[in-house]
Amino acid sequence: MALENEKFNEDKINEIDVNELDCRDTLTFWEKFGNIFRSKSIWMLHYCTGCGAMELPPTMTSRFDMERIGMAPMATPRQADVLLITGYLSVKTLRRIIYTYEQMQNPKYVVGFGSCTLNGGVYYDSYAVISRLDYYLPVDLYIAGCMPRPEAVMSGFKKLMNMIKKGEALGWKRYQKYYDWYKKNQVRALGEVYVKDEFHE
């Protein structure tokens, strides 16, 4: 038993406070200029495996109409700017999320919906569900709630826009700088992570 515990400890995630990580570069003029446009036009890719996806249709359509703040749904990861993770992530879907995230073009942002991405929510002790998303991907913004109502989603997006404009949404830089740490956690959860490329082999 003791041995097992030790082994488990060896395997443990090296806890660091990701928000303390320093990745603030000085922004050049062009980056500041670009951030104005980036904050006003956000194309999103919604990865709807969790229950939070239910709240997205009212947010997108006539009732709350997210197009009026410049957001639009996009069809593929290459075109999108923000990845919405709408709820719990099983280990199986985490792999797909990582592939998807790595296909997106810089600068890219991740928004986690609901308590499941935050700390596991009601699935905190499940064997099949990961409980903290920011061990695996750099999350820029969490929207709390189980599930967050459209009002909360809209105000969350507004907040994301402000962060982008001020140059504070730097998750993608964090992912590049601390890639080893993220990769280690991913490998720990999945066993292996590789991007399969069937067309250019």
Partner 1 sequence: MSTFLTATGLVLLAFFWQITLSGIQRKVTARIHRRVGSPWYQNFIDLFKTWSKSSISHGFIYDFGVLMALGGTIATLIFIPAGHIVVFDKLDNFFVITYLLAVGSLGMAMSAVGSGNPWASIGVMRALTQMLAYEIPYIMAVFAIIYANKTASIHAIALAQQGMGILGWNMFRMPLGVIVGFISLMGMLGKKPYDAPIAPAEIASGPLVEYGGKHLGMLMLQHEFATFVEVGLFVNLFLGGGTLLAFLIKYFIVYILATMIASVVARFKIDQLVVFYYKVPLALAFIQTAIVIFTGLG
| Rg value, the chain, Cα | 17
Q: Which region among 34-42, 113-121, 157-165, 177-185 touches ligand SF4 (by CB under 6 A)?
A: 113-121
Q: Is 88 an interacting residue with respect to ligand SF4 (CB under 6 A)?
A: yes
Q: Which region among 6-14, 46-54, 64-72, 118-126 touches partner 1 (by CB under 8 A)?
A: 64-72
Q: What are the tokens at 176?
A: 């590049």
Q: Please, which residue, 121 or 138, has the CB nearer to partner 1?
A: 138
Whole-angstrom distance, CA of residue 181 vs CA of residue 28: 27
Residue with tokens 């962060």: 163
Q: Is 106 an interacting residue with respect to partner 1 (CB under 8 A)?
A: yes
Whole-angstrom distance, CA of residue 169 vs CA of residue 73: 20
CB 88 to ligand SF4: min, Å: 4
Q: Is 29 an interacting residue with respect to partner 1 (CB under 8 A)?
A: no
Sign of CA dihedral 141, 146, 152, 154: positive
> Of 65-84, which residues contact partner 1 (CB under 8 A)?
65, 67-68, 70, 74-79, 81
Kind plus residue range of the DSSP H or E element containing 181: helix 179-190
Q: Which residues of the chain form contacts with ligand SF4 (CB under 6 A)?
A: 50-52, 87-88, 114-116, 121-122, 146-147
